[in-house]
Structure 1
Amino acid sequence: MIKNLFITSRRWQAVRKMAAYVAPYKGPLVFSLIALLLTAGITLSIGQGIRLLIDRGFATQSPALLTQYVLIFLLLVGLLALGTFTRYYWVTWLGERVIADIRRQVFAHLVELHPGFFEANRSLEIQSRLTADMTLLQSVVGSSVSVALRNLIMLAGGVIWLFITNAKLTAIVMLSIPLVIVPIMLFGRRVRALSRQSQDRVAAVGAYVGEVLGQIKTVQAYNHQATDKMRFDQHVEDAFAIARQRTLQRARLIGVVIVLVFGAIGMMLWVGGMDVIAGKISGGELAAFVFYSIIVGSAVGSISEVYGELQRAAGAAERTMELLEAPNQIRSPLHPQALPPVVGNIAFEQVCFAYPSRPEVWVTDHFSLSVRPGETLALVGPSGAGKSTLFDLMLRFFDVQSGCIRLEGVDIRQLDLVALRRCFALVSQHPALFHGTIGENLRYACPDASDAAVEAAAKAAFAHDFIQALPQGYQTRLGDAGLGLSGGQKQRLAIARAILADAPILLLDEATSALDAQSEYWVQQALARLSADRTTIVIAHRLSTVMSSDRIALLQHGRLQALGTHAELMATNELYARLAALQFHAS
């Protein structure tokens, strides 16, 4: 019981926080409410128009009066149409505007979150929250809330007019209201629980689709389609099963409400009809009473239906607020220390680090190493030795558990993140290219770069010739992740992008691993010229690519095993000599 109350409180707290996004738009909100009150008032006035039409139009058999009341009725209809137009436009505008603001804030928060967050949370499921949940919230903010408010007004106004018209008949209708509230609360609690489960299942469906389609070549290469179809079917059926339960509960709720409300209206019609026959009330009064009864019954039925939508929206709001409230563990300090001129003086001091997903495994274990300004330092060692992790730590994608990393003598945790990362140009083992033109991809690190600078960087990376050979040259649009380019072409674009960044420190993670022998030679020459006045740290599995480095650091199990030139390590370190022998003999 306490747990359910906590969940409900947390969910509605999320709804209240989402409602705060409406506050800046007071003008459209006021227009919407005025139009809402106008349309509700006109609709309620139609009941009196019906009474007058019957009692003073039809009953008197006066063409003039009949014409007069029909014209009044048509005027009300025209005003109703105008009010409905105004309400629909501003409410829908408000929903779209608010959800656009929320989407922007969620995305802005997500792109600042530390990478460790995305280790624990599937990015494709987060993507689903940004689409499916936002669509649901837009529907509720831009429609359901308006419908609920309108029907609450209609319910209150209809009940008042019922009492004014005939108190005895109203008592019959009012008997059904307590009977309606009970099933709304009972079924609503079940709908709320099922709504969250349903949204989670839908998110799982979206995440699985993105994962499979993103790796479609691997899927087809291993003939995995049948298995993936079967797994996807299971995800879809799980989502359908929850949706079916939720729909069943809502359908039961609506059915019960209809029976209770309109059953009461039927009873009222019988009693009212008897009073008309006995001459106690007029036919117009009964018609107006029936109209208001239908208004009240429809309002209660609509509210019960919208209540289910609001429950789903509460679940979506909770999931959205979870993203917005996710803490960012990697932040700039409140008062960052000024960064001296960067020449590439980096020091690792007794660095210990374990990934959050594997806290018991030290990836770097009391690792110490100084990188000299302007040198080319190669990091080599078996897979899992911690080479790529050092890049992650230098860029503060993660923070060390103990020890520290210093840049120009300053602990990087004391530096502004933007200023720190501007010091590095990264070329990863698997180049990251984005949907867009080649020119846009090259400018990713330097959006204001001129065409001449982009072309110069491409030439330095020996990418210019193949770019020019493409149909639109630098305006050629790439598929997702550079689909359509060879591995070597992707790598050269990534190198050109790093060149264009013009950062004082280069981080090359197997930057030439995907190149053929000729391209590798020319890119190595370009990198050698580029590295002349920069500090370069290279991760390499092929020792042949780093033999000419100023120094080579050999890592194993997160520790520094040896440090020196290729010749020195060949002579003094057995592990390095063994790795070299395996590679050179293999080649």
Structure 2
Amino acid sequence: MSTRTTGTNQPDTSRKGSLAALRGLLPFLAPYRRQFVLAGIALLFAAGATLAIPAAFKQMIDHGFGAAGGGAGSQSIQHVDAVFLALFGVAAVLAVATAARFFMVSWLGERVVADVRAAVYRHVVHQSPEFFETTRSGEVLSRLTTDTTLIQTVVGTSISLALRNTLLFLGGLVMLFVTSPKLSAIILGLLVLVVLPIVLFGRRVRKLSRDSQDRIADASAMAGEILNAMPTVQAFTHEGIESGRFTQSVDGAFQTAIRRIRARATLTMLAIVLVFGAIVFVLWLGAHAVLAGTMTGGDLGQFILYASIVAGSVGALSEVMGEAQRAAGATERLLELLAARSDIQDPAQPKQLPQRLENGARVAIENVSFSYPSRLETAALAHLSLDIRAGETVALVGPSGAGKTTLFQLLLRFYDPQSGSIRLDGVDIRDLSLHTLRGAIGIVPQDTVIFSTSALENIRYGRVDASDEEVIQVSKMAAAHEFIERLPQGYGSHLGERGVRLSGGQRQRIAIARALLKNPPLLLLDEATSALDAESERLVQRALEAAMVGRTTLIIAHRLSTVQRADRIIVLDEGRVVESGTHAELVAHGGVYAKLAVLQFQAHAPVDAHLG
């Protein structure tokens, strides 16, 4: 799956030129100009040393071996000694410059990739829920790992090799013309003819590289989804089925990778055969020139070495081009993530909440209508209006799909309504920064999230600067202290991925303690006691009653024990308010709520029965 399909706010960059996407890395490279300059200096020294070697060999052949043949033995030996001494000096310069270049470009590769990963992750965590409805987390992880590794190869290796071989190609070409303009003109004309098919074939390599990365992302996304649902997979004995699906996905990625490798191998073969074929033809002409006496042996030796440098640099550039094209595809995918723009943004000039003069926050919902982006034809809320006083406890009841959880999501501004407004203490929540708004709200979700860390840090997630004593205090309020103390390392015990070492009720009490630690003026409880047994519910209910004092509380309630204690009960159906009042008033009214209450009493389980 590609985020090219996730919405109109994400541009399709797949039609860019083969390497155009790599320009997107420039903002990440810009802060490290100094390191690039140092690497460039080392690169120039290394390339210069390499290009000096053939000239040294020419001197040795013409003035050393040639002179020896003429009888000037002592002088030629001295000249050969000087040439070899100079050659060793050139090799030393080459070694130091190459080591410096390797260190600098490797450092740049690691640094830039770390910055890219951090930037992509920082951007993704600020996306709205709409983004995660259409983008699988496994795919995002694939882009953060596999794709950034390809970029690391380009920044840390390929760019350096490309510049080095470009310098060698240009320098070698200049020296070829200095050595023999006629042969150089012929070889240059032939190179122009052979490079064209190489460039055209390279485009196919890039497309296959992008396809290969997409297939790897698909496999990663599938694996992530199944591993997160392993108890369900095993409960339905689908281990074999899921293994087969993953194997099929991996095989698909393998086949795509093989097509890419085959294309790259063909490209490399084509480059080497065409380039070296042209060079061999020109050298054949040079050999005839030496035999005819129009060229010295030293000139031919120098020409051969420079031709080898030019040919080697062209071959290396074709290899680098293949890596760069793979990285271009990876860069496009990462840039798509960075280009994703959430519809939920901080206002240009955010307002502040007024100083709270009374306990809790006042919430005013005015004629709100909302449909989820993926289901625009169905209204989740329709012309909903509510006025919740500061310090009031309001219960929301109704059947599934009535709009209860949707209202919570709008209060947290995970989505914005299509019409109407929501005000917190008289301020439209769209005029508040997301940090200010969500900082004023605590939530205990129905699906409890436990992080793979200690019990202490899981609760402290509610307020990161809280002391250990404050964490223990709210744990006692949430009836979590006793079972945490019984864990092997107490509050230091790691709870496992997604809290697998805890029961459902224990996870929920951790979440309640986390919300209480935040101590917000507005508390949202989304079936906060749904996973608790009767005894735990009694303890937590008592804790919640204490926590509700001094704050406004909205409860999505399925249990009569919670509903009865609310100041007001709102009955929702199909996104509309159909009834409102206290428990006694609604029962006396004989409407929807009364029928639900009668069903509970008839079940003879007033605590455990469900209202909707």
Tell me the TM-score normalized by structure 2.
Answer: 0.91
Partner of 1:565: 582
| Partner Cα distance (2:197, 2:590) in 1 | 78
The 10-residue stretch of structure 1 (420-429 or 113-122) with the greater mean CA deviation from structure 2: 113-122
Q: What's the % identity of the aligned pairs?
A: 50
Q: Partner residue of 1:64?
A: 78
User: Are 2:137 and 2:224, in contact at CA under 8 Å, matched by a contact in 1?
Assistant: no
2:288 to 271, 274, 299: 274
Task: Tell me the secondary structure at the aligned position of residue 368 of structure 2.
Answer: strand
* Structure-2 residue corresponding to 1:443: 460
Counterpart for residue 425 of structure 1: 442
The range that moved more, 146-155 or 470-479, is 470-479
2:22 corresponds to? 15
Q: Which of 322, 328, 347 is equivalent to 1:308?
A: 322
Q: Output one character per residue of 1:142-185: Cα deviation in whole Å (capped at 9) or x when no partner.
A: 11111111111111111111111223332342233112221122
Matches within 5 A, 1:259-270: 259-270=273-284
Give how far 1:7 is off: 5.0
Structure 1 CA distance, aligned partners of 2:15 and 2:503?
53
For the 8 Å contact 1:380–1:387, the answer to whether it is kept is yes
Of residues 206, 212, 216, the one that matches 1:198 is: 212
Deviation of the 1:203 alpha carbon:
1.1
Q: Is the 8 A contact 1:173 1:261 kept in 2?
A: no
Match 1:84 to one of 94, 98, 119: 98
Tell me if 1:33 matches 2:40: yes
Task: Compute the displacement of 1:539 (Å).
Answer: 0.8
CA distance in 2 between partners of 1:341 and 1:534 (Å): 15
Aligned-residue CA RMSD in angstroms?
Answer: 1.9
Residue of structure 2 equivalent to 1:515: 532
What is residue 575 of structure 1 aligned with on the other side? 592
Matches of 1:584 and 1:267, distance apart in 2:
99
CA distance in 2, matches of 1:479, 1:294: 59
Q: Offset of 1:13 from its aligned partner? A: 5.1
**In structure 2, C-alpha distance between the alignment counterparts of 1:7 and 1:122, rounded to whole Å:** 20
Aligned partners of 1:495, 1:82: CA distance in 2, in Å? 62
Instruction: Verify the 8 A CA contact 1:380 1:543 in the aligned structure 2.
Output: no
Residue 417 of structure 1 deviates from its aligned partner by 1.7
Superposed, 1:488-527 pairs within 5 Å as 488-527=505-544
Contact 1:144 1:306 survives alignment (8 Å) = yes
Counterpart residue number, 2:559: 542
Change (3 A) 1:11 1:115: farther
Q: Is the 8 A contact 2:380 2:406 kept in 1?
A: yes
Quick check: 2:442–2:515 contact (8 Å CA) kept in 1? Answer: yes
**Structure 1 residues 376 and 64 mapped into 2: Cα distance closer, same or farther (>3 Å)?**
same
Q: 1:210 aligns with which of 210, 221, 224?
A: 224
Partner residue in 1 for 2:50: 43
Per-residue CA deviations over 1:440-492 (Å, capped at 9, x if unaligned) read 11111211101111111111111112212222222222322112111111111
Q: Distance in 1 between matches of 2:412 and 2:512?
A: 18
Q: Secondary structure at the match of 1:337?
A: coil
The equivalent residue for 1:229 is 243
Query: Which residue identity is paired with 1:22?
Result: L
Equivalent runs, 1:160-175 vs 2, <5 Å: 160-175=174-189
- Kindly tell me the number of residue pairs found equivalent between the two proteins: 583
Query: AA paired with 1:268?
Result: V
Distance 1:562 1:577 in 2: 10
- 1:348 aligned onto 2:365: yes
Residue in 1 that maps onto 2:426: 409
Bigger shift: residues 269-278 or 411-420 = 269-278
Deviations 1:246-269 (A, max 9, x none): 222222211111111111222233
1:321 paired with 2:335, answer yes
Q: Deviations over 1:299-357 (max 9, x none)?
A: 11111121122222222222222221211211121122331234321121111101101
Distance 1:207 1:467, change over 3 A: same
Mark the runs of 5 or more structure 2 residues left unpaired by the alignment.
1-11, 606-612
For 2:208, the aligned partner's letter is L
Match of 2:59 in 1: 52
Q: 1:245 Cα shift?
A: 2.1
* Cα distance per residue 1:413-446 (max 9 Å; x no partner): 1222211111111110111111222221111121
Structure 2 distance, partners of 1:486, 1:151, is 62
Deviation at 1:117, TM superposition (A): 1.5
Task: State yes or no: 1:372 paired with 2:389.
Answer: yes
Q: Which of 240, 250, 256 does residue 270 from structure 2 map onto? A: 256
Once the two structures are TM-superposed, the CA of residue 8 in structure 1 deviates from its matched residue by 4.4
Q: 2:253 aligns with which of 221, 234, 239?
A: 239
63-72 vs 473-482, which moves further: 63-72
Residue type matched to 1:186 in 2?
L
CA deviations 1:278-304 (Å, max 9, x no partner) are 444333322222211111111111111
Deviates more, 1:181-190 or 1:277-286: 277-286
| Greater mean alpha carbon deviation, residues 564-573 or residues 523-532 | 564-573
The equivalent of 2:408 in structure 1 is: 391
Shift of 1:394: 0.4
Matched, 1:133 2:120: no
Task: State the secondary structure of the residue aligned to 2:531.
Answer: coil
The aligned residue for residue 332 of structure 1 is 346
TM-score (norm 1): 0.95
- Preserved CA contact (<8 Å) 1:172 1:267: no
- 1:359 paired residue among 370, 376, 398: 376
